[in-house]
Amino acid sequence: MNKRGFWNALGLLIIGAVFGATLVGNFGYMKKAYAGDVKLGSESEPVQQISGDLQSFEDAFINVAEKVTPSIVEIKVVSKIKENPHEGLPFRIPFEMPKEQEGTGSGVIISDDGYIVTNNHVVENATNVTVTLHDKRQFDAEVVGTDPLTDLAVIKIDADDIQPIHFGNSDKIKVGQWVMAIGNPLSFSSTVTAGIISAKNRSLRLIKDSYGVENFIQTDAVINPGNSGGALVDLHGSLVGINTAIATNGFSPSYIGYGFAIPVNLVKAVAEDLIENGEVSRGYIGVRIEAVSDATARAVGLDKPKGVLIQGIVEDGAAAEKDIKEGDIILKIDDKEVTQPNELQSYIAQKRAGDTVKLTLYRDGETIERYVTLKAPKNKAKTHRKKGEKKKGKHKIETKEFGNIGLTVRDLYNNEYDEYGVDNGVMVVKTERFGKADEAGIGRGLVITEADRQKIENVEQLEEVLKDKEGGAILLKVVYPDGSKRFVGLEVPEE
């Protein structure tokens, strides 16, 4: 190539390189980005301005979270576990299980001198309890007292500059009311969630004791393991409950929709007793009760199901000393209406032995009042079987089927009077599945001793009483093989 051709080719290469760089730069492939050149977000106004009632509503949650969270503590517990975890197993595990375990929960400061309320199951069998405050200070805690029957406990720390929570009134809370749950779920400290009160007066049968008190507030505010012992507060920032349990699907112990809290009025009564005495001096009426069904209400003449039915009287209990009878219905206690057994139990749990309460009872179509002085239980209620009077001589055993209620009964054999501890009655030998008797909980092996408050001596007498009640309902008294007794409301359709 000659000199002229060389310089022409070199010029074309330089022009092409400059032109290519310009194109690439214009298409953004080589442009260097600077922070000042980037515009993030829209320059227009927000989608909606929050003001007025909506702003106040949002501020309420913010203020409660800021002011209440310092009253909530994290609790770490080292506790003893079952000494022999292999007991009852059909095989022996060839290694040692640890004798202690560590767990976490929440607590609520209830006094400026360091008392904290939490759940009994959080500190149960504790050998060491450590409390961490919202400001990260840590203290060793003393267990002041526990009450397994309400799943509550009180612990204490020696600390200055702490903030006790304000107590609300759980009797005044309403379903649909906004609440906030504050605690330490899943080891996430100072977690705040919100929801509404979904229901009141829930019983979950978590406390496996006949004297257990369950009257939970149900909420859809998210509660998870670690929230136990934390606070459920209203939008005033007042404590309305102590978070205790969650509803699970049986596979995961985490939240799937609902949590449950112990009402603050019960919490306050138990905490005061534990602080003062180290234990709860609880009083009892001494009755065995259950809810009034629609059939029972119709059988006794109530306009609708209400109150709680007295199924039994505890021997030597407070009720046994007054004119209170099996089959009476408690409509009110101290002028407070009750519709479920746990409502009555929760109210009584706030009283002490020696306190007097007024019971408004329904009996034989009339309303009466009785004043009962509560007593502490000496022992748990026992069933005392009355020895029956054995029938003498042989008598014909009759059997009768009542198709309209799905029930077949027969007269008692001589030996069954003593076996059941009764003087009269008829034996249930069969119930039809999904029949009226089956729906009422009447099963084979029960003895019917009363119908419509009349003693039943034989099948013929029961037939007469049932015939008179066709198209309505009847109250039966039944006796179980262990000697325990129960009243049952039963619908009696026409034949």
Q: Give me the DSSP letters along 9-32.
A: HHHHHHHHHHHHHHHHHHTTSSPP
Give the whole-angstrom CA distance, residue 391 versus residue 404.
Answer: 31
- 364 is an active site residue: no
pLDDT over 70 percentage in the chain: 83
SS3 281: coil
| pLDDT in the model for residue 35 | 55
Is residue 366 over pLDDT 50?
A: yes
Is residue 223 over pLDDT 70?
A: yes
Is residue 96 over pLDDT 80?
A: no
Q: What is the pLDDT of residues 7-24, one digit of tens each?
A: 555 555 555 544 454 444
Catalytic residue among 71, 121, 234, 328: 121
Give me the residue label for tokens 């009042």: 369
CB 223 within 8 A of CB 243: yes
Interior angle at CA 281, CA 277 and CA 282, nearest 5: 150
- Dump strand ranges (E) for 223-286: 231-234, 238-246, 259-263
Is residue 230 over pLDDT 90?
A: yes
Higher pLDDT among residues 195 and 6, named by residue: 195
Catalytic residue among 198, 228, 238, 293: 228
Is residue 210 over pLDDT 80?
A: no
Structural tokens at position 69: 């969270």
- 121 is an active site residue: yes
Q: What is the pLDDT of residues 212-221, one digit of tens each?
A: 888 999 999 9
pTM: 0.77
Catalytic residue among 151, 220, 234, 411: 151
pLDDT band at 29 (very low <50, low <70, confident <90, very high): very low
Structural tokens at position 157: 């720390």
| pLDDT in the model for residue 224 | 87
Domains, the chain, in order of start with CATH, read 58-82+99-280 (2.40.10.120), 287-373 (2.30.42.10), 399-492 (2.30.42.10)
| pLDDT in the model for residue 25 | 47
- 166 is an active site residue: no
| pLDDT in the model for residue 22 | 44
Q: What is the pLDDT of residues 411-464, one digit of tens each?
A: 999 999 999 999 999 999 999 999 999 999 999 999 999 999 999 999 999 999
Count of alpha carbons within 13 Å of 328, Cβ hemisphere only? Answer: 23
- The residues near 13 (Cβ < 8 Å, ≥ 6 apart) are none
Is residue 91 over pLDDT 50?
A: no
How many CB atoms are located within 10 Å of the residue 322 CB? 16
